[in-house]
Structure 1
Amino acid sequence: MLELRDVTLFIEQGGDVKPLLSDVSAKYPRGHFGAIIGPSGCGKSTLLKVITGVAHGEEEGEVHWDGRNLMLHDFAPSEIGFVPQFSIAHEELTVRECVAYAMRLRVRGMHAEALREAVERILDEVNMTEFADRLVQVLSGGQKRRLALAMELTSKPPILLCDEVTSGLDPQSEDEIVSLLHGLSRSDGRVVLSVTHSLRHLSYYDSVLVLYKGVVAYQGPPEFLCHYFRCDDPHDVFARLELREAKDWGQSWKKHRQAFMESVTKEDFDKDDAGDKPDIDDELPAVADIEILPAGKETETLIDIEAEVQPQLDLPEEEPDGVPTPGILSQVLTLTERRFRMFSRNKVQILLQLGLILGFPILVAIFAWNGLPAITNQSMGLEQNIVEQLLEAKEFIVQASKVGSLVSGIVMFEVILLTLMGANNSGREIAAERLIFEKEKLSGLNPLAYILSKGIFLGVLVVAQSVWMGLFVSFVCSFPGDLLTQLLFLLLVNAAMTSVCLAISAWMGSAEQASLVSIYLVGFQLPLSGAVLALPAWVASLAQPFIAAYWSWSGILETLKAERYYEIVQMVIQTSTAPASLCLWVLFSHVVIGIFVAWLGCHRSRMA
């Protein structure tokens, strides 16, 4: 039994506390198919979030499941399924792959053969077998809704919450979805609650809950709905709601609910003539006009829904802890495999990465395609007169300035392009699939496993981009210094920007916002590094600790200490470099802090 007891939800808005739900009470026995209807903005979706435990705001009242207070003890991940209005499956995957990955992330110990059989059974249950090998991106709206249902059924949840899953569908698809939900409510003693604006299929439901501005105006069998609201068509209910204040509807239902539920039968309503119904000015409902049944008469009352449905169900054995969820390592491997598979099917992303990896090093190396210029020593000969010595010194300074600027510029160009690649790597990585992640987190996905899988995937990109950049520039330009240490600095600056932008992606509200902020961050790298123009001392002390480009540029230049180029570079740069060891530690801290902040962002719920 799912029971809501005087559930109230407050939010703070503009300094005022506003109730989104007020004293909502309802009961749903096992094997029940319930509709939740009401005008837009009345709190229907919010009510589902309260049940799932992801609503934002101050809650009062209690939600119970099989006698367990969910305000004190949450659902196990496998106990509840949530199907949102819009599809939240990865479009690069096939239907079968989506269901298989969902099961691998939610159910522990599934061997290959058992997994295959379970996936095929679920696809058959939702009538998606013939579409099993189709990519999600080519499915129709109704097919995507059935896929979403299939993914929720992988852990066999006893409660299935559906948020406007029939919205925007054609009549045939809507018929199929409602029929499917009705059938699911009759399997395994499952409670299925569906938020809907459509009243075409009321006969499928065991009960209808009417919400009006966060208040329960009615909850009972659909066949009694029109009688209660004194209308001839269910579609007129919303218009009737507008005739009274929400609090009046709530008070009226509280006052008459018990008498209404204990005294009426379907036969009584069949006898009632619409002309005998009271006017709207009378207090609703007119319980006195309803025939009171003699004591002991067997009835099919509203309050006896559970007794009617329960004996017909083949209920599973109680599993208070739910289906065991896979461990972190298993989830990491599953997520990593899925991410690489998605990447391999995204031709645009593959071409973009190839363009960045192959093209950016060419942009750097083109400035010294034939190698760095040789530096001519001053002869300092005594046979030269003062004019010749001055001219030679001037030529040396000009030459050294060009070479020093070239060396410093090549390093900074490498670093800036790698920060740009880092921003491109992860700026959209979490934000673009946030709804999918939140849904999977609700179903038992560990945020740490999610972040680790992102680290593995992005790490491969970082290594490929950074190592190729360093090797190509070193080979083409004959760049001096310790190559391995230089590769490490290039890798760390890329990893630092990738991690920081991953954190941005985890905290932004949309992929577009995250991408924009990430690009802005790259734009600040060059001017705030001080590599081109020296910053005022106070600005440098405040900005440079956060500018990864400075630490990579500085560290690479420090690897030239054994080379003559080091002195030449020091002659032209206006910003002092930091010790290589310090540069390594700062860049490493950027990576760690970025990943940690991304993990914190993933812990924060952002359910739409």
Structure 2
Amino acid sequence: MLELREVSVVSARSGEKSRLLDAISAHFAAGQLHAVVGPSGCGKSTLLKAIAGIRQPNEGSVHWAGRDLDVHDLAPNEIGYVPQFGIAFDSLTVGESVETALRLRVGGLKGEALAERAAHFLAEVGLAEISERRVGLLSGGQKRRLALALELVSAPRLLLCDEVTSGLDPKAESEVVQLLHKISRDGRAVISVTHSLRHLDLHDTVTVLYEGILVYQGAPRSLGDYFEIADPGHLFPILTTRPAEYWQELWQKHRSTADVSPNEQRTETAPFSSPDFLTQFSTLLRRRWLLFRRNRGQVALQLALLFGFPCLVVIFAWSGLPEIQNLSGISSNALQQMLETAAFALSSYRVGSLVSGLIMFQVILLTLMGSNNAAREIAGERAIFEKEKFAGLRPSSYIASKVAFLSFLIAAQSLWMAFFVSLICRFPGDLLAQIFILGLTNAAMTFICLAISSLSRSAENASLLSVYLVGLQLPLSGAVLALPHLIGQATRPFIAAYWGWSGYWETMRDTRFYDFIQSMSATELVAFALCAWVLLMHALGGIFIAYLGVQNSRWE
């Protein structure tokens, strides 16, 4: 049995405290379907989140099967939480979604056993015939059924449903409520928050909230007599005729005689083992590749960037880097020698500027690709991640799968950029070192943007911040205009473009081009090893911050 004892939740938004739940005491038996109803804003969803531990009560306690959940929290496989709108990837099929949920939540399932379990849950919610249909093509009722199937895979004893019938037509609503009733008969306590007052007769109990206060909990058949209404549809209007305190006092007088069935129908099931790190990692990585391949727009964009950006670089030196003639040094005419020296200096400056620009162009384009790689990677699917984390997904497995997927993009982009530009423009220097430093530059920006994505409230905000970060790379790198000394010293450690540009130049140390850039640029070049280490620290720092970002819950 689930029991709430004087549970209160207080919100302190905008500096003003408001009580969302006020000393709620209620109980919900296993093996029954419980409706939680009330007008909009009365605290129904807050109640579910307090039960689930998503939102900690400011006062009171929640108990499940006799244990205080503040002391002994629910295990992920003991509880299921179904949000108002189905949370699944539109490009996956129904069957793929359920199989992925099984792999992420239940350990030891492979091959036929996994397929049989998935088929069982699809049949239980009535989706077996459309298992090959994409989630994005499902109706509202079918998406609610899928959401229930995703929670049932771990056989939770407590199932919380937040307005799963909202927005459905009457037929679909009736089917979903009947399904919830059926699910509860397996010994589960099913608590369904709903704004609809239809089908209350299919519920074992009805809990009524009004302005954060519990004003009734009892059998549906007693609801009309208690509130003196002929039809449940009149409940919300009758509540508004009296202040909430009146209904609270009335309930305190009658709660001891309330008609609530005390009988529990419990079925004990052996707890499932959770999958290990590698199983979750491989499942997430496989799913990410599947989502990538099915997103034609994303594939087309990545290919356009992969092959288009290097072409933008080489058009400035399509015939290769220009050669510089040596000074003859044999002219006896001072004026002629001076003119020759000036021409040589001008030519050296032009060539040095061209080479420096081509290097920086590669660096900036790779940072732009890094931003595109990762800015939406976490923020764009945060709701799904939070739901899966609630069900037992390790944040470490999630971040590791993102790093593995993004590392492939980084390797492909950096390798092709360095190789193609070097081939066409005939860049001197160590090609492997150039590939390495460009790869680190791309990785640094990619994983910093992954960190931004983990900290952002929306994919749009993450994309905007990442673009701003890329926009700062060129002016703060000092490659075009030297920064004032103090500003350069303060900003340089954080500008990946500087370290990529400087590191690339270091691969050409034994060439004449390196002498040109040293003579013409006021910005200091540093050793290749230091550039590589700083960029590596950027990348590792981004991964660490991203990990911290996904550790923090961000439920909307």
What is the TM-score of this pair, normalised by structure 1?
A: 0.90
Secondary structure (helix, strand or coil) at the match of 1:433 reads helix
Residue 437 of structure 2, aligned match among 489, 493, 514: 489
> For residue 257 of structure 1, what is the amino acid of its counterpart?
R
| Equivalences for residues 176-187 of structure 1 within 5 A | 176-187=175-186
Identity across the alignment (%): 54
Aligned to 2:228: 230
Q: Out of 223, 236, 239, which is 2:237 matched to?
A: 239
Deviations 1:390-422 (A, max 9, x none): 111111111111110011001100000000000
SS, match of residue 14 in structure 1: helix
1:390-539 pair list within 5 angstroms: 390-539=338-487
Q: Which sits farther off after the overlay, 439-448 or 230-239?
A: 230-239
Report the AA paired with residue 594 of structure 1: G
Preserved CA contact (<8 Å) 1:9 1:60: yes
Could you list the structure 1 runs, at least 4 aligned residues long, displaced by more than 3 angstroms after superposition.
none
> What's the offset of the Cα at 1:16?
3.3
Q: Which amino acid aligns with 2:174?
A: D
Contact 1:81 1:443 in 2 (8 A): yes
Q: Which residue of 2 aligns with 1:110?
A: 109
2:44: which partner in 1?
44
Worse-matched range after superposition: 247-256 or 44-53: 247-256
Deviation for aligned residue 1:594:
0.4
Residues 1:129 and 2:128 aligned together: yes
Corresponding residue for 1:363?
Answer: 312
Q: Does residue 19 of the first structure (1) align with residue 29 of the second (2)? A: no
The offset of 1:366, in angstroms, is: 1.1
Give me the whole-angstrom Cα distance separating, in 2, the residues matched to 1:251 and 1:507.
45
**1:13 is aligned with what amino acid?**
R
CA distance in 2 between partners of 1:378 and 1:368 (Å): 24
How far residue 306 of structure 1 moved from its aligned partner, in angstroms, is: 3.1
Which residue is 2:54 aligned to? 54
Pick aligned residue for 1:306 from 262, 281, 303: 262
For residues 411 and 148 of structure 1, what CA distance do their matches in structure 2 show? Answer: 50
Counterparts of 2:296 and 2:13, CA distance in 1: 45
- 1:4 is displaced (CA, Å) by 0.8
Q: CA deviation at 1:248?
A: 2.7
Alignment of 1:333-352 (within 5 A): 333-352=282-301
Q: CA deviation at 1:586?
A: 0.8
Q: Is the 8 A contact 1:30 1:306 kept in 2?
A: no
Computing the radius of gyration from Cα coordinates, the structure with the larger value is 1
> In the aligned structure 2, how far is the partner of 1:105 from the partner of 1:323?
12
Q: Distance in 2 between matches of 1:405 and 1:251?
A: 82
Letter in 1 for 2:421: V
Letter in 1 for 2:384: I
Structure 2 residue 150 is matched with structure 1 residue 171: no
Query: What CA distance in whole angstroms lies between the structure 2 residues aligned with 1:238 and 1:201?
Result: 16
The whole-number CA distance in structure 2 between the counterparts of 1:248 and 1:527 is 66
Equivalent-residue separation in structure 2 for 1:606 and 1:593 (angstroms): 21
Match of 2:302 in 1: 353
The CA distance in 2 between the partners of 1:511 and 1:205, in whole Å, is 39
Partner secondary structure for residue 26 of structure 1 = strand
3-state SS in 2 of match to 1:9: strand
Local SS of the residue matching 2:423: helix
Partners of 2:328 and 2:202 in 1: how far apart?
99
Q: Deviation per CA, 1:423-482: give whole Å up to 9, x if none.
A: 000100000100000000000000010000000000100000011100001111100111
Answer yes or no: is the 8 Å Cα contact 1:22–1:214 preserved in 2. Answer: yes
Partner of 2:268: 316
How far apart, in 2, do the equivalents of 1:245 and 1:581 lie? 72
Equivalenced residue count is 556
Give the aligned partner of residue 208 of structure 1: 206
Deviation, 1:35, is: 0.6
Q: Normalization by structure 2: what TM-score?
A: 0.98
- 2:215 maps to which residue? 217
Deviations 1:80-118 (A, max 9, x none): 011111121011110000000000000000021110000
1:404, 1:571 within 8 Å by CA — same for their partners in 2?
A: no
What code does the residue aligned with 1:138 have? L
Amino acid at match of 1:494: N
d(CA) in 2 for partners of 1:603, 1:150: 26
In structure 2, distance between residues paired with 1:112 and 1:499: 35
In structure 1, give the amino acid aligned to 2:138: L
Q: How much has 1:13 moved relative to structure 2? A: 2.2
More off after superposition, 540-549 vs 95-104: 540-549
